[in-house]
């Protein structure tokens, strides 16, 4: 009798669950959801092409470019932690990032995952904590002295280390991993700008630097936390095993390096960001503040440059126009002696004049944004401009990667690499789209990236430094693939050959190749 009762109770519960799941699934518009496991099977099956999979799901929605799915199809979970909304609708993005900004914080899941690495630094904080740091940082990022400091660090790195490495590879016809070199270059620059201390990871021998290695290990382990339920990584942390053990060991090295750098700057102030925060008495959680700037300024520019050079290798017309523009600027600033063109890296005053190059970099970021997806926590119930209902406690992802792949947003040629879409009809001025929230590669609203213009200056300087001296070609058989990460790394790097440019051609349009 008891067995029969248990059987009927089980059948009743099972029937009730199926009815609930049927009603839930009927209201979901994203990838197929299965009982209990929700859309996890589709996510796992497409993990190697995660961002394209999201874009395809959004395209299937037709004009709404918003869908909702359930990661875990369980009652009392699906409408909160397991319920996800994904959108690439510019009006929705504006609603999230500007109009209802206060309702969409980083949230507890993100903050818990990043707390050990970033604490309550600007990248990982909300509310008043974020606002105080933002105001202080905003004042510094608008100063001419910071721009000049960036130029000094960048020019020194390019001239003394980057150029010799490229020249040797070209002369000996040795393939290089350009993504790796760019990561090292931007890491050295951001560390110099932040700490006033150059780790010199970009050197001919490509040495391992303890701080750089520990920082990479810590960021990778931290990002892994977002791929699994919170209880999973918290259990690993409590047991001190796996990635959590590596994270603890890496953070010990990172914190030691940070304290040494801060102590040195307290004794001998310089023109770096640490000294500026100390001068303003903003010394609370100083190491976390500094690490936030390193994380924000290192990977994003190098990854964007990697995709830019990859695109350029298959778009010679764009490359020729960039070379022509650089040539015209240098003719005005340095005369017609082309040896003077490559004697020194371009100064920021010269870089400012490279309008077409900025358009080409923006076009790269439209198609391959350094941060392809971003996440927000829904603080209270809300309705998006397209009518999508968001329950409090759920998560919304705005897919920056998908925005650039929607014909409804960018037109029928949305998948083409066409820098001209960023220029005035006369192609003499850079003109971003009037609908600002269709391009959010540098975020938007109150959390717009403070280093946006510095990033453009750095990227343009590096591009000019490479293209004036070299032409690139992909190593035969090398596969360029996306890595499943919060930053759009190339999984296998970017392996290229370098070919010396001939600067002795006729004075005029395009510098010839050898």
Is 0.75 topped by the overall pTM? yes
Q: What is the DSSP string of 290-326?
A: HHHHHHHHHHHHHHHHHHHHHHHTT-HHHHHHHHHHH
Give the span between the Cα atoms of 94 and 108, in whole angstroms: 22
Helix (H, G, I), strand (E, B) or coil at 213: helix
CB burial class (10 A; 0-12, 13-18, 19+) of residue 59? middle
Helix (H) / strand (E) containing 85: strand 83-87
Helix (H) / strand (E) containing 168: helix 163-172
Q: Give the annotated binding-site residues for heme.
A: 449
pLDDT value for 134: 84
pLDDT value for 490: 94
Q: CA distances (Å), 252 to each of 198, 213, 248, 290, 415, in order? A: 20, 12, 6, 16, 44
Q: Do 441 and 449 meet the contact criterion of CB atoms below 8 Å apart?
A: no
Give the span between the Cα atoms of 148 and 457, in whole angstroms: 11
CB burial class (10 A; 0-12, 13-18, 19+) of residue 453? middle
pLDDT value for 308: 98
* Phi/psi of residue 482, nearest 5 degrees: -80, 145
The segments of the chain whose pLDDT lies below 70 read 1, 8, 13-14, 17, 19-26, 36-37, 62-64, 72-82, 227-229, 280-285, 503-514
Q: Give the annotated binding-site residues.
A: 449
Question: In b/e form, how buried is each residue of 457-489, taking b as 16+ CB within 10 angstroms?
Answer: bbbbbbbbbbbbbbbbebeeeeebebebbbbbb
pLDDT value for 24: 65
pLDDT value for 504: 56
CB burial class (10 A; 0-12, 13-18, 19+) of residue 185? buried
* Phi/psi of residue 169, nearest 5 degrees: -65, -40
Tell me the torsion sign for CA atoms 336, 459, 462, 170.
negative
CB burial class (10 A; 0-12, 13-18, 19+) of residue 263? exposed
End-to-end Cα, the chain, rounded Å: 90
Token pair belonging to 70: 């359930």
Taking the CA atoms of residue 341, residue 347, residue 353 and residue 357 in that order, the dihedral angle to the nearest 10 degrees is 80
pLDDT value for 420: 96
pLDDT value for 352: 94
Give the span between the Cα atoms of 35 and 53, in whole angstroms: 21
Token pair belonging to 38: 């929700």
Helix (H) / strand (E) containing 458: helix 452-467
Q: Do 398 and 376 meet the contact criterion of CB atoms below 8 Å apart?
A: yes
Give the span between the Cα atoms of 150 and 145, in whole angstroms: 9
Domains of the chain, first to last: 1-99+372-403 (no CATH), 116-371+404-513 (1.10.630.10)
Rg (CA), the chain: 25
Tell me the torsion sign for CA atoms 35, 39, 42, 48.
negative
Strands 382-383 and 389-390: antiparallel
Q: For tokens 């909300």, what's the residue?
A: 126
- CA nearest 371: which of 312, 442, 295? 442
Give the span between the Cα atoms of 74 and 55, in whole angstroms: 26
């Amino acid at each position: 009798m008891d067995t029969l009762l248990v059987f009927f109770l089980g059948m009743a519960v099972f029937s009730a669950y199926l009815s609930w799941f049927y009603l839930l699934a009927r209201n979901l518009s994203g990838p197929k959801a299965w009982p209990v496991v929700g859309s996890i099977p589709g996510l796992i099956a497409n993990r190697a092409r995660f961002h394209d999979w999201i874009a395809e799901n959004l395209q299937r929605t037709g004009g709404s470019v918003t869908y909702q799915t359930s990661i875990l199809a369980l009652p009392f979970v699906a409408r909160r932690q397991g319920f996800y909304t994904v959108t690439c609708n510019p009006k929705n993005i504006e609603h999230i990032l500007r109009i209802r900004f206060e309702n969409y914080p980083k949230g507890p899941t993100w903050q818990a995952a990043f707390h050990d690495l970033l604490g309550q630094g600007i990248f990982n904080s909300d509310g008043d904590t974020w606002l105080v740091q933002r105001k202080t940082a905003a004042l510094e990022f608008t100063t001419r002295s910071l721009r000049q400091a960036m130029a000094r660090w960048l020019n020194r790195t390019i001239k003394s280390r980057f150029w010799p490495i490229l020249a040797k590879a070209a002369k000996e016809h040795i393939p290089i991993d350009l993504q790796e070199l760019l990561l090292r270059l931007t890491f050295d620059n951001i560390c110099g700008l932040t700490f006033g201390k150059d780790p010199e990871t970009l050197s001919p021998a490509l040495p391992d630097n303890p701080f750089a290695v520990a920082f990479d290990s810590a960021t990778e382990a931290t990002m892994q936390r977002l791929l699994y339920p919170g209880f999973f990584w918290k259990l690993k942390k409590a047991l001190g095993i796996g990635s959590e053990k590596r994270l603890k060991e890496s953070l010990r090295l990172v914190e030691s390096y940070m304290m040494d750098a801060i102590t040195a700057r307290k004794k001998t102030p310089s023109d770096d960001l640490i000294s500026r925060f100390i001068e303003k008495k903003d010394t609370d959680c100083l190491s976390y503040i500094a690490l936030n700037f390193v994380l924000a300024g290192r990977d994003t520019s190098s990854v964007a440059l990697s995709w830019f050079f990859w695109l350029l290798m298959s778009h010679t017309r764009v490359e020729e126009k960039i070379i022509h523009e650089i040539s015209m600027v240098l003719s005005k600033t340095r005369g017609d002696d082309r040896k003077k063109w490559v004697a020194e890296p371009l100064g920021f005053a010269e870089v400012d004049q490279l309008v077409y190059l900025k358009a080409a970099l923006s076009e790269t970021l439209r198609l391959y944004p350094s941060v392809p997806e971003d996440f927000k926590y829904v603080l209270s119930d809300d309705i998006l401009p397209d009518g999508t209902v968001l329950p409090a406690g759920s998560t919304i992802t705005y897919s920056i990667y998908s925005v650039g792949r929607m014909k409804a947003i960018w037109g029928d040629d949305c998948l083409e690499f066409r820098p001209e879409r960023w220029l005035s009809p006369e192609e003499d001025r850079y003109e971003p789209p009037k609908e600002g929230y269709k391009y959010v590669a540098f975020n938007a609203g109150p959390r717009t990236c403070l280093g946006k213009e510095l990033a453009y200056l750095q990227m343009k300087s590096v591009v000019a430094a490479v293209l004036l001296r070299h032409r690139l070609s992909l190593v035969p058989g090398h596969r360029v693939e996306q890595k499943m990460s919060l930053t759009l790394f190339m999984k296998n790097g970017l392996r290229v050959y370098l070919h010396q440019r001939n600067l002795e051609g006729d004075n005029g349009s395009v510098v010839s190749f050898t």
